[in-house]
């Protein structure tokens, strides 16, 4: 009998794959604002382009994640890299709005192809270390997502608007052979032939975990739609927004692995609920902190809670279902993430416009707290389907 334990370095190829995919998406973020000046798009049209990316990712994760459970994770990652490469290369040369919408949708779709297989590989890698391994993936994900905008901005500044798209496309093409050689995951496969993943929504423990996920991404949607406007209204610059974003991401890189280990030891619902409660209560103070530097620093410290909350909710979702349904459940989680952020982005902006920043963040925090309570109520009395051995 082989008693050899999996080692952390076994996950490195999957971390790299996720980092590259995240960099391809993150790399175009600083360029989207330039679409108004260079392509002549209006703010509303740019919003449509951004929303198309969320829609593409949503469709891929909800509709296709289950195929990673059937053993096609490596092929999905490879296809995702190829689709991203073609999409990015085309973006460098098109001017039509609806072509941009279609290409941004395809880029989001490519990310939705990559994520399920990669996360499944981490979740089934070692049944005793699901949290730690998913935390390692968060490190790869955030590293790519934070590095991408920096590279994109520098390339655009030095070589022009099209350069980042061409360079990122070349990077994706170069990584296609790497993706095709990813190791097979260690988990049991789904051989049921199910046509969709929605049967999993009948699992009460998964319902509770997904409600917690939804609660966290309600905040993300509000943050993305309100915070840039709030900073601008206070006289802040886009650079300050970038600093705030980076300060939130760095703690996630530094603490996500520890957060996963903690979730493995203490239990993911406890860690997730505790961290999200800290985040919700802190969010309610945003409108009352008038100094931008103090608010940015505060959010940087709060990034530690984000690392614990975001990692732990993934572990909660993973442990709610058996090994052969990991990608399907994590795909549903990805859909809930996009849904939560998308549904609350506009209401948060509307509240800000009508009632001001103090009311906005208090409402966001209270709504988060209500969802945390609802999630815990669904989790109460349930047992994980994939427990530690």
Residues of the chain with CATH 1.20.1250.20: 10-181, 201-382
Q: What is the pLDDT of residue 389?
A: 44
Torsion 29-33-38-40 (CA) sign: positive
Confidence bin at 242 (pLDDT 50/70/90)? low
44 or 137, which is more confident: 137
User: Poorest-confidence range of 177-181, 341-345, 360-364?
Assistant: 341-345
- Asked whether the beta carbons of 259 and 271 are under 8 A apart, the reply is yes
- Asked whether the beta carbons of 61 and 116 are under 8 A apart, the reply is yes
Please, what is the average pLDDT of the chain?
86
- Asked whether the beta carbons of 183 and 62 are under 8 A apart, the reply is no
Q: What is the pLDDT of residue 247?
A: 74
Confidence bin at 237 (pLDDT 50/70/90)? low
CATH classification of 201-382 is 3.40.50.10070, yes or no? no
Q: What is the pLDDT of residue 183?
A: 83
Per-residue model confidence as pLDDT tens digits over 266-308: 999 999 999 999 999 999 999 999 888 888 888 888 889 999 9
Q: What is the pTM of this model?
A: 0.82
Q: What is the DSSP string of 258-327?
A: HHHHHHHHH-HHHHHHHHHHHHHHHHTTGGG---HHHHHHHHHHHHHHHHHHHHHHHHHHHHTS-GGGHH
The residue count of the chain comes to: 389
Domain 10-181 top-level CATH class: mainly alpha
CB atoms inside a 10 Å sphere around CB 233 = 11
d(CA 183, CA 10): 9
User: Poorest-confidence range of 29-38, 249-258, 324-333?
Assistant: 29-38
């Amino acid at each position: 009998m082989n008693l050899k334990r999996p080692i952390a370095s076994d996950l490195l190829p999957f971390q790299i794959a996720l980092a590259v995919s995240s960099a391809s998406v993150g790399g175009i973020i600083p360029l989207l604002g330039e679409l108004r000046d260079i392509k002549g798009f209006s703010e509303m049209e740019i919003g449509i382009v951004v929303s198309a990316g969320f829609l593409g990712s949503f469709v891929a994760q909800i509709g296709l994640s289950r195929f990673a459970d059937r053993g096609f994770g490596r092929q999905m990652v490879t296809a995702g890299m190829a689709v991203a490469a073609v999409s990015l290369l085309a973006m460098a040369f098109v001017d039509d709005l609806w072509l941009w919408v279609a290409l941004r949708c395809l880029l989001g779709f490519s990310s939705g192809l990559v994520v399920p297989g990669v996360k499944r590989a981490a979740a089934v890698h070692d049944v005793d270390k699901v949290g730690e391994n998913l935390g390692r993936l968060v490190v790869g994900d955030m590293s790519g997502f934070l590095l991408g905008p920096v590279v994109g901005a520098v390339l655009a500044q030095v070589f022009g608007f099209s350069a980042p798209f061409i360079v990122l496309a070349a990077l994706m093409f170069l990584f296609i052979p790497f993706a095709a050689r990813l190791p097979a995951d260690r988990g049991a496969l789904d051989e049921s032939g199910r046509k969709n993943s929605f049967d999993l929504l009948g699992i009460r423990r998964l319902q509770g975990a997904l409600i917690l996920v939804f609660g966290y991404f309600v905040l993300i949607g509000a943050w993305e739609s309100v915070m840039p406007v709030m900073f601008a209204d206070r006289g802040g610059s886009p650079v300050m927004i970038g600093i705030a974003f980076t300060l939130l991401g760095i703690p996630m890189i530094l603490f996500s692995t520890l957060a996963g280990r903690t979730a493995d030891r203490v239990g993911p619902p406890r860690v997730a609920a505790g961290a999200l409660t800290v985040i919700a209560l802190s969010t309610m103070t945003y409108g009352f902190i008038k100094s931008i530097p103090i608010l940015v620093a505060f959010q940087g410290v709060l990034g530690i809670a984000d690392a614990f909350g975001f990692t732990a909710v993934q572990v909660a979702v993973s442990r709610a279902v058996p090994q052969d349904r990991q990608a399907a459940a994590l795909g549903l989680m990805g859909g809930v993430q996009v849904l939560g952020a998308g549904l609350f982005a506009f209401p948060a902006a509307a509240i800000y416009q009508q009632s001001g920043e103090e009311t906005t963040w208090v409402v966001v925090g209270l709504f988060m707290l209500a969802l945390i309570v609802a999630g815990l109520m669904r989790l109460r009395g349930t047992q994980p389907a994939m427990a530690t051995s």
